[in-house]
Structure 1
């Protein structure tokens, strides 16, 4: 089996989806040979113990193409990648794309990045008769015609599609894909093991504040600098207000690109009450959040982690998926827009959440088993697509073309 996605590239949410599916495969198909085609193969192999290959032939893929050599390398790389990806797909009985917002444009992306790569995987799967399954993925509409076209065709060519929320299925339907047989389950991360809760009888815990390098969606590139400044200013004012109230604050991130934001807030607030946590996985995030009194989170999977461990959370929402997740958990009123942060209003919402902390914890305790059950049903449905347990690999697919 092959696993495809931007794993090992610094985004702990993407890696969390990988771990959730790997845990299922290891429990249900312990004999299966599994490898990955991903963004950070060395990291994936070291952390998760599976062979992994680099997604892009050109090693400078993620650098800005300012020099002629980089422009040429990227252009040639796209052609080479078409053959490399087809060869990788051919070696597998099935290719799984676990979770993540792989069909989303809620953050900036270029059509020749992940949309192109995913299209190549799905097209190769259809051509070579290797089923490609999009498992519990996120999706969104976009105004970019190239991104929309590649996303639409990738979804059409996939042998199986399921989504983490109804918004994602609706977005794919709006792009012209027949989704009548597609199911909605829940984010795969809700299948992960949960650390033990903190001791509520002890001294008050910290407030975990998840921040991100937020500069708007793919359709807001012309406003990115303005949105980034506004977001950083609003979150800095909010953290400063918490520190002024004597509240310990732990700054959390969900991607390596978020670290400059934590550094800027630490420098601006300059308080011993404000510290930054080193988190390399969703497990690390959940451990931090399990001992917190309250979480204020921007990144989607920061929010998922808070809800999963049962800690009252307030969403600084940058996309409709966060609003929908909070509404599905019965916490729809605890949202604040990331594009227009009002630090004073955010602080009021924070205090209101804390006043209702016991009620919110009860709501989460009732809602989490429901979402975990949906993921179990997702895995049961996926099993019908996987090779039978104990089946020998197809020798023809094991040969390298």
Structure 2
């Protein structure tokens, strides 16, 4: 608690939040839950991708991350290119002014130190660098909490990500692969810890225990075009992924199984539309989830889940439902291994519907056993996240006066 002569600690949250990605927003929700439970005196606001959504959904003031609203659209005309360039300069000043108003800034989860999806260095990597650099300049503690990382080949992106990580006051990762990747890129990770993804701290809906004939299958889809190094093959990769997924869904329908299509980002809608168009059956429906809580309810009600997006997998595993991963990155394989389902991964780049169906049926034969395994692993994850939040409090909220003067003097 603060006393009359102490200013409340000012906490900022930063990232592509409120921009349509449910996984990012779930990480924010977990951190806000921690702050409200452990630091209710904190004054919290956001610098984020979708400020209107964040303000309305989470009840905190929010500022737009980028001055130029077309930051993540391809610029081809001279005016758009000039506006993007000007935006980089304006964002440097805006970020510095925002950071300076805070004692602590938290980057909640997300794959902010990876390029497993297409990424330009002067987009989010540059924004993250501005955050960490101005945090160091003004004495604001910047924490990268439970983030994902992967080795990056692009030299500019790699340099920005590495420098951002070095400038942060606190780092923790959502898997060992992430910590190893940062070490391989030249970051000293000796004091960095690994914890489960922040979404494992969210409330879990009641588990469904299947009885009777085989029931609903949730299929989580993604606008998948490969990673940052696959730009030349992006269309081919997407076509293979979509064709294989359509064939798999068609096979489930032929077996009389209801299929519920799930997404995790607004950009996934065309994939859902393509599947519904190709598999014309009342057995195939699409969920309209607005949060990870909604996704967890969907996966908890299913007999089995097959999913691509990382946080679709987390929702299914956290709800205790046997899950098969259409894996597009090492982080998905690592998550499945952590939860005891390493045998049930299938490459998203090369979806073989026949092989996928074999794996699916093998998964369902072990359903009862795997549900028990997931219950045990979820308990372990919950305990580990309690340690994460304890460590975060010790690192970011020392039992000292939180006035700006003392912060700058530290």
Equivalent of 2:72 in 62, 66, 71: 62
Residue aligning to 1:218? 228
Residue aligning to 2:8? none
Task: Tell me, yes or no, if the aligned pair for 1:57 and 1:80 is still in contact at 8 Å.
Answer: yes
1:126-205 pair list within 5 angstroms: 126-201=136-211, 204-205=214-215
Task: Tell me, yes or no, if the aligned pair for 2:141 and 2:396 is still in contact at 8 Å.
Answer: no
Find the aligned partners of 1:60 and 1:335 in 2 and give their Cα distance.
36
3-state DSSP of counterpart to 2:396: coil
Task: Tell me, yes or no, if the aligned pair for 1:93 and 1:387 is still in contact at 8 Å.
Answer: no
Cα distance, 1:210–1:330 mapped onto 2, change above 3 Å: same
Task: Tell me, yes or no, if the aligned pair for 2:140 and 2:407 is still in contact at 8 Å.
Answer: no
What is the Cα-based RMSD across aligned positions, in Å?
1.5
Equivalent of 2:264 in 250, 254, 261: 254
Residue aligning to 1:87? 97
Find the aligned partners of 1:4 and 1:64 in 2 and give their Cα distance.
23
3-state DSSP of counterpart to 1:26: helix
3-state DSSP of counterpart to 2:36: helix
1:256-295 pair list within 5 angstroms: 256-295=266-305
3-state DSSP of counterpart to 1:238: helix
TM-score scaled by length of structure 1: 0.97
Task: Tell me, yes or no, if the aligned pair for 2:118 and 2:227 is still in contact at 8 Å.
Answer: yes
How far 1:394 moved relative to its partner?
A: 3.0
Higher mean C-alpha deviation, range 56-65 or range 120-129:
56-65
Equivalent of 2:82 in 72, 86, 90: 72
Residue aligning to 1:317? 327
Task: Tell me, yes or no, if the aligned pair for 2:50 and 2:64 is still in contact at 8 Å.
Answer: yes
The CA deviation string for residues 30-86 of structure 1, in whole angstroms up to 9 with x for no partner, is: 111000000000000000110000000011212221221111110000011001001
3-state DSSP of counterpart to 2:282: coil
Task: Tell me, yes or no, if the aligned pair for 1:29 and 1:389 is still in contact at 8 Å.
Answer: no
Find the aligned partners of 1:389 and 1:45 in 2 and give their Cα distance.
29
The CA deviation string for residues 218-257 of structure 1, in whole angstroms up to 9 with x for no partner, is: 1111110110000000000000000011000000000000
3-state DSSP of counterpart to 2:42: coil
Gaps of 5+ in 1: none
The CA deviation string for residues 342-388 of structure 1, in whole angstroms up to 9 with x for no partner, is: 00000010000000000110110110010111111110000012335
3-state DSSP of counterpart to 1:384: helix
Residue aligning to 1:234? 244
Find the aligned partners of 2:64 and 2:407 in 1 and give their Cα distance.
20
Task: Tell me, yes or no, if the aligned pair for 1:7 and 1:38 is still in contact at 8 Å.
Answer: yes
**How many residue pairs end up in the alignment?**
398
Matched, 1:98 2:116: no
3-state DSSP of counterpart to 2:43: coil
Find the aligned partners of 2:247 and 2:108 in 1 and give their Cα distance.
37
Find the aligned partners of 2:163 and 2:97 in 1 and give their Cα distance.
20
Find the aligned partners of 1:201 and 1:314 in 2 and give their Cα distance.
20
Gaps of 5+ in 2: 1-10
